[in-house]
Amino acid sequence: MAAPFPPSPSLNLPGLPPNSSPSLFANANNFHLQNLNYYQVSSPSRSETGWKLLLEHTTPSALYDSRARFDPPKVDKHTRVEVMERLTTWIEDRESPTRLLCMTGAAGAGKSALQQTIAERYAESGALAASFFFSCSDPSRNNVSAIVPSIAYQLGLRHPYLRQWIGEAVDDDHLVFSKSLRTQMDALVVRPVEHFRAQMGPAKFSSLPYLITIDALDECLDDQHQADLLSVIHTSLLRDNMPFRIFLASRPELTIRTALESYPQGFVYHLRLSDDFDATDDIRKALWRRLREIGARSSDPLARSPLWPTHDDVESLVIASSGQFVYAATVIRYVSDRRGSPVKRLQMVLEGRHGEAPANERLFAELDLLYMSILSNAKEAWEVANPDSPYDFVVLLRIFECYRCSDFPLSSFLVTRRYHESNDFCHLLGLDSNTLDTLTLDLRSLVSVVDKNGSGETYDTLHLYHRSFVEFLDTPTRSKGLYRSTVLVTEFIVSCLMRQICHGLDPDAIEGAIQSLPSTTWWMIDMESRLETSEAYEISQSLYDAFLRFTRDQGWDKFFTTWVAGEWYTGQHSPIGHAIEGGLVRLLALVMEYAKLKDLDREWIFTIGTHHANLCQQIAPFVALEKREMSKRSDFEVLPFNVGDSEFDDDDNV
């Protein structure tokens, strides 16, 4: 219940002593009144007027106990023990000079659950001064317009004198809510708290609630507003004469990272949730407990069986979670739906993961919305920063996701070792060397850039926090307008290599592109079989156009001039003769078929046919030699490339 206002000063009329009540009929006697209606009209105090105006500018849905946030995520029993211990130790150590804790983590890492649990715990103990939960989907709390009034409102509930002075501050300036964030914070929070300290003394001041929690700052839609709030926290709330400790949580987006780096050393305690803590065991515990609870409540006898779920079921979900709670929480919500059997629903999830059954489109709707929002916003920001770029943001991202992934960079199958094991990979494709960094500036809640050791140097690779994010990118019904197939991505790489051969300025890069082109085209053409689809590769219009430009710009002349058969090899997982036969020879044949279907210029078809015949003629003796060499071995390893019925290993040929 809200604390009452402090008593207003008594109304004193002239001629009456203080605290006397005014009389309508002073000194009157011996008279009779009939049907008297008596009304006492009093004006509301300044603090009451201001308080009512303050309420109009708060956002109830942003509070930790808001009905709009009913059943918010919370930390599961016996999980996140180490993180909670770190948080509570910092919160309760009021002697520590570091009064700002910023917890960053990937999307779905469990930040909001930790914030909610902390807010509830310290509200119960009386230490919570205020909380605010941003949400990009709620217009009332996806900006900073209501955060200061909401904090001031909660402070006013903690003590009647704070409420009075906050109300009076609003009544002094009814336009305070339209002023800068710092002006609002100083007027509605800082000065009332300073006044409280001066009037009430140190003992009362030290008993004030002191913890302010702010969740999901990254979901404030305006980057400048995020920066403004961080600045105001620094300059106003964390002044030496303020009692507050601020617990802030956010995805590690650019604005937040920049602010953290600008703070003086020791000013902020940065807790990296995704990097510093492995949540795998906690996710496993939560899955076991929640699924068993669902089974116990179910009318399905299979779900009530002690054999459900199986160990393999849970481990499959743990692996899919990639250490992030969002996947497991999504599965739990889906399986707990009372309209179906939890056993059948869990089976649908597991079969959908392994491609054994169509994925239920509703299953990951919330997760997909999260990924769609982050990816769309990052794409828009990149396009604003690179308005003249001819490249598609998602295609560039998928190049690194598919071929420069930190777990196993598949670029080793495409390009020569020099370009695979260095940041020259970007240079080879005609991209800036810092392309990966700029692409991921606004994606750090989903990915990170990881250094990997190559031959004498390190190179950048992409680490994805969520396996489910890869599944999202790979599934057209989930990523919708942001879907870019791996075949399309590889076609883009082939086009880049062709452009480098024709128009590159660095002789080394041109030679690297020529050496890499055969295996890249081989990988591209055989991709459908590796993806276990029944469809054969069909050349796209964009790659066909790139191929014609390559031919028109004397790309084949440069290729044949640079390539001297037998003197160099791809340095990859394939002998050069078979790389060319499996890649370029087949690509030329596909181009000719495409040209004939389109009834294009006969001269072009003849030109392509000439290059096809020339290529076949030049590589024929070397393919034959490679086949003879390979036939001498009976224990050769299976190659990742398949040409016809032949499989080759490169160990004897490099």
Beta bridge partners of 130: 212
Q: How many CB atoms lie within 10 A of CB 90?
A: 17
Tokens of 521: 């085209």
* H or E stretch at 489: helix 486-503
For residue 102, the model assigns a pLDDT of: 97
pLDDT of residue 462: 92
Residue 635: closest CA among 647, 622, 623, 653? 647
What is the Rg, in whole angstroms, of the alpha carbon atoms belonging to the chain?
Answer: 34
- Cα distance between residue 206 and residue 600, in whole Å: 84
Take residue 283 and report the two structure tokens written for it: 């996710």
Write out the two tokens for 208.
């004030």
DSSP string for 215-266: E-GGGSS-HHHHHHHHHHIIIIITSTT---EEEEEE---HHHHHHHHHSPTT
Note whether 54 and 149 are within 8 A (CB).
yes
Locate the DSSP E strands across 23-66.
none
Separation of alpha carbons 650 and 576, rounded Å: 9
Give 578-620 as a DSSP string.
Answer: HHHIIIIIHHHHHHHHHHHHTT--HHHHHHHHHHHHHHHHHHH
Chunked into runs of 10 residues, the chain (654 residues) has average pLDDT values of: 44 39 60 59 74 97 91 88 96 95 91 96 97 92 96 96 96 96 98 96 94 96 93 96 97 89 89 88 94 93 94 93 84 83 89 54 76 90 92 95 82 80 87 91 87 76 86 91 93 94 90 88 78 73 90 87 53 63 85 79 80 80 71 50 36 33
What was the pLDDT predicted at 304? 92
CA distance 277 to 450: 17
With contact defined as beta carbons under 8 Å apart, do 141 and 130 qualify?
no
Residue with tokens 């469990």: 110
pLDDT at residue number 382: 93
In what helix (H) or strand (E) does residue 349 lie, and over which residues does it extend? helix 342-353
Six-digit token string for 65: 């106990």
**pLDDT at position 15, please?**
38
Are 248 and 281 in contact by the 8 Å Cβ rule? The answer is: no
Do the beta carbons of residue 398 and residue 359 sit within 8 Å? no
Q: Count CA atoms closer than 13 A to 206's CA, side-chain side.
A: 5
pTM: 0.70
Going by their DSSP bridges, the two strands 245-250 and 100-104 should be labelled as parallel
Which amino acid is residue 84, in one-letter code?
A: M
Q: Which of 520, 463, 469 is nearest to 490 (CA)?
A: 520
- Count Cα neighbours of 389 within 13 Å in the Cβ-side half-sphere: 21
Q: What's the rounded Cα separation, in Å, for the pair 52 and 48?
A: 6
Closest CA relative to residue 212, chosen from 190, 191, 243, 181: 243
The per-residue pLDDT for 534 is 58
With H, G, I as helix, E, B as strand and everything else as coil, classify residue 454: coil
Type of residue at 268:
V
CA distance 111 to 113: 5
Q: Are 51 and 166 in contact (CB under 8 A)?
A: yes
**Which of 439, 460, 336 minimizes the C-alpha distance to 386?**
439
Q: Let me know the angle formed at the C-alpha of 296 by 293 and 297, rounded to the nearest 5 degrees.
A: 90
Beta strands in 299-379 (DSSP E): none
Distance of alpha carbon 616 from alpha carbon 608, whole angstroms: 12
User: What structural domains does the chain harbor?
Assistant: 48-276 (3.40.50.300), 280-363 (no CATH), 392-631 (no CATH)
What CA–CA distance (Å, rounded) separates 116 from 99? 19
Q: For residues 550 and 223, what is the distance between their CA atoms, to the nearest angstrom?
A: 43
* Residue type at 239 in one-letter notation: R
Neighbours of 86 (CB within 10 A): 17
